[in-house]
Chain A
Amino acid sequence: MILEIRDVAKFFNGFSALSNIGMDVEEKRIHAIIGPNGAGKTTLFNLISGMYDVNRGEICFKGMRINGVKPHVRAKLGIGRTFQIVRLFGFMSVLENVMLGSHCKTKAGLLKTFFRFSMREMQEEKITRENAMSWLEFVGLTHKANEVASNLPHAEQRLLEIARAHALGPDLLLLDEPSAGMNPKEAEELNSLISKINRMGKTVLLIEHNMELVMGISHVISVLNFGEKIAEGNPSEIQDNPAVIEAYLGRKR
């Protein structure tokens, strides 16, 4: 198990956003989390990536308890994520955005930036740039490398965010509704991109509303509703699960 979530609960001002969530994410799988709006999916991502801390329970990553560990340390441990609403560094170039992904794998500090004691710093910068270019190529944005990030069309901004998260070299990639705002063709391409990332040996945890995409590529699906996990299984099991159908469509009279 790359990620183990045990009895996790999260409250906001007494309102329970998540309660008793237990979930195991197996290595090298595509694990999807689905559920109606407000089910607590993004809250769960925020708990895993460290933006919030759990009120109860524990989260283990690669067998290590990461409760209370800061987000940037979790990034270093190998958790990368994208956001539901794209959060790029708008003023910076596409390439710089991806180069930032390598931040915690590189070392050059402020003094070294200025004095350039050795060739190593320049070398490091060069490698960072080359890596970033290869990730841009991976998502098909090479030709936009020098554009300002906020000038990209929406779908490309999403791809850029994935490239940035990927430059971190994460073992676990959290994708929060990557296909939101994409047209069917773009979603199709995204679909194959996610599979490709997975085949490279990365575990992908995916929040998605696009059912076609979810059912097509996921190995395991967990369903959340009102902050609780109501079902888990492979795509065909989930499609036939009465509790899931009820959550989405309401009870049969």
Chain B
Amino acid sequence: MDYLISVATIAGIYIIMALSFYLPFMTGQISLAQAGFMSIGAYGSAVCTVKWGIPYVPAVLIGGIFAGIVGVLLGLPALRIKGIYLLLLTLGFGEIVRVVAINLEYTGAAEGFPGIPYQKYTLLYAYGMVLILIIFFSRLRRSRMGRAFQAVGSDEDAAEIIGVNIVSAKLLAFSVGAFMAGIGGGILAHYQEYIEPLMFDIMHAIEFLIFAIFGGIQIFWGPIFGALVLTFIPEFLRAIQNWRMELYGALLIIMMIIRPQGVIGLDTVQGAERLFRKALGNVNRLTIWSL
């Protein structure tokens, strides 16, 4: 049971991370910096609780805000570049964060940062955050800024011509995504009790990307699904644990051929909504969709 809870907890944190990748992705920005932001949130919140004695919740929030601020600073130059160059810039940033963490004596350098107070209710906090994000994304989907994000992701020039300030839309999506990643890092730090720079290396950033692409990128349920499934599958199939990355690779290739939009697409969600409506009849107006 403990084991199952621990896997579920990690899955919850990974859902947060996959969604943190998804938000900038909506505006067409592919970020490999999410592990870096996670690291900033983890170290930031750990410093808050260990060195300054700040309680858990505000500490995690401060870590997230700190990551968000760094997100703005990185987002500013990132706005000018697109595609593969943005990928390289964010990848480089992730490495910079790791190297800084390795050399920063204040947070234990390469030996890691031990003695972080353990949060017993991490599972609840993680899924509480997931719930908040689900409400956020489902509202975003039907809101002015959400539409603007999607428009920017679909055709920047056309979006700008109809009056969307693409610079602020992209910066907003990028930095809020960084904030989410920071929160994920803070929650992780207080669950593992110990963090080290290697826990946030580039492979993790790529994992978050794979969660989102595998689950589906048309709607936020995709990354949630991807993170859940790809965290649980390797755990239950212990034998393939070491072949995790290979499994991801094979899955992605199969996906690209049979379902390029990811497992969960708009059609899936619309089908589910229809089913819900049938099952609930007239109550449908009060269902979670109208959150």
Chain A nearest Cβ from B79, distance in angstroms: 13
Q: Mark A111-124, 1 if CB is under 8 A from B, else 0.
A: 00110100000001
Flag whether A168 is at the interface (Cβ < 8 A): yes
Q: Cβ of A114 and Cβ of B162 under 8 Å apart? A: no
Chain B residues near A89 (CB, 8 Å)?
Answer: 150-151, 154-155, 158-159
Flag whether A151 is at the interface (Cβ < 8 A): no
Question: Which of A54-62, A69-77, A197-205 is found at the contact surface with chain B?
Answer: A69-77
Q: Cβ of A87 and Cβ of B157 under 8 Å apart? A: yes
Of A91, A114, A125, the contact of B150 (CB 8 Å cutoff): A91
Q: Cβ of A103 and Cβ of B144 under 8 Å apart? A: yes
With known contacts A71-B160, A103-B164, A110–B151 Cβ distance under 8 A:
no
Chain A nearest Cβ from B227, distance in angstroms: 21
Q: Cβ of B160 and Cβ of A114 under 8 Å apart? A: no
Distance between Cα atoms of A248 and B144 in the complex (Å): 46
Chain A residues near B164 (CB, 8 Å)?
Answer: 72, 100, 103-104
Q: Cβ of B145 and Cβ of A109 under 8 Å apart? A: yes
Flag whether B266 is at the interface (Cβ < 8 A): yes
* Interface size range of chain B in the complex: 20 to 34
Chain B nearest Cβ from A175, distance in angstroms: 13
Chain B residues near A96 (CB, 8 Å)?
Answer: 147, 150
Chain A residues near B145 (CB, 8 Å)?
Answer: 108-110, 113
Flag whether A245 is at the interface (Cβ < 8 A): no
Chain A residues near B266 (CB, 8 Å)?
Answer: 91, 148
Chain A residues near B143 (CB, 8 Å)?
Answer: 108, 113, 125
Q: Which of B151-197 contact A (CB under 8 A)?
A: 151, 154-155, 157-166, 172, 176
Q: In the complex, which of the residues A89, A90, A101 has the most CB atoms of chain B within 10 Å of its own CB atom?
A: A89
Q: Cβ of B151 and Cβ of A92 under 8 Å apart? A: yes
Question: Which of B1-9, B112-120, B134-142 is found at the contact surface with chain A?
Answer: B134-142
Chain B residues near A76 (CB, 8 Å)?
Answer: 163
Q: Cβ of B139 and Cβ of A113 under 8 Å apart? A: yes
Q: Cβ of A103 and Cβ of B148 under 8 Å apart? A: yes
Q: Cβ of B154 and Cβ of A92 under 8 Å apart? A: yes
With known contacts A113-B139, A114-B136, A114-B139, A51–B161 Cβ distance under 8 A:
yes
Chain B nearest Cβ from A4, distance in angstroms: 21
With known contacts A83-B158, A91-B266, A99-B147, A125–B142 Cβ distance under 8 A:
yes
Flag whether A128 is at the interface (Cβ < 8 A): yes
**Number of interface residues, chain A, beta carbon within 8 A:** 38
Q: Cβ of A165 and Cβ of B162 under 8 Å apart? A: yes
Q: Cβ of A101 and Cβ of B161 under 8 Å apart? A: no
Flag whether A49 is at the interface (Cβ < 8 A): yes
Flag whether A37 is at the interface (Cβ < 8 A): no
Q: Cβ of B151 and Cβ of A106 under 8 Å apart? A: no
Flag whether A35 is at the interface (Cβ < 8 A): no
Chain B nearest Cβ from A249, distance in angstroms: 35
Chain B residues near A75 (CB, 8 Å)?
Answer: 160-163
Chain A nearest Cβ from B133, distance in angstroms: 10
Of B140, B151, B155, B157, the contact of A113 (CB 8 Å cutoff): B140
Chain B residues near A128 (CB, 8 Å)?
Answer: 144
Chain B residues near A104 (CB, 8 Å)?
Answer: 162-164
Flag whether B146 is at the interface (Cβ < 8 A): yes
Q: Cβ of B157 and Cβ of A51 under 8 Å apart? A: yes
Distance between Cα atoms of A114 and B162 in the complex (Å): 24
Chain A nearest Cβ from B202, distance in angstroms: 29
Q: Cβ of A91 and Cβ of B163 under 8 Å apart? A: no
Ordered by A's residue number, 14 sampled pairs between the chains whose C-beta atoms are within 8 Å are A51-B160, A72-B164, A75-B163, A76-B163, A81-B161, A87-B155, A89-B154, A100-B148, A101-B162, A103-B144, A106-B144, A108-B144, A164-B162, A165-B162
**Interface set of B (CB-CB < 8 Å, partner A):** 135-136, 139-140, 142-148, 150-151, 154-155, 157-166, 172, 176, 218, 266
**Interface set of A (CB-CB < 8 Å, partner B):** 49, 51, 70-72, 75-76, 80-81, 83, 87-92, 96, 99-101, 103-110, 113-114, 116, 124-125, 128, 148, 164-165, 168
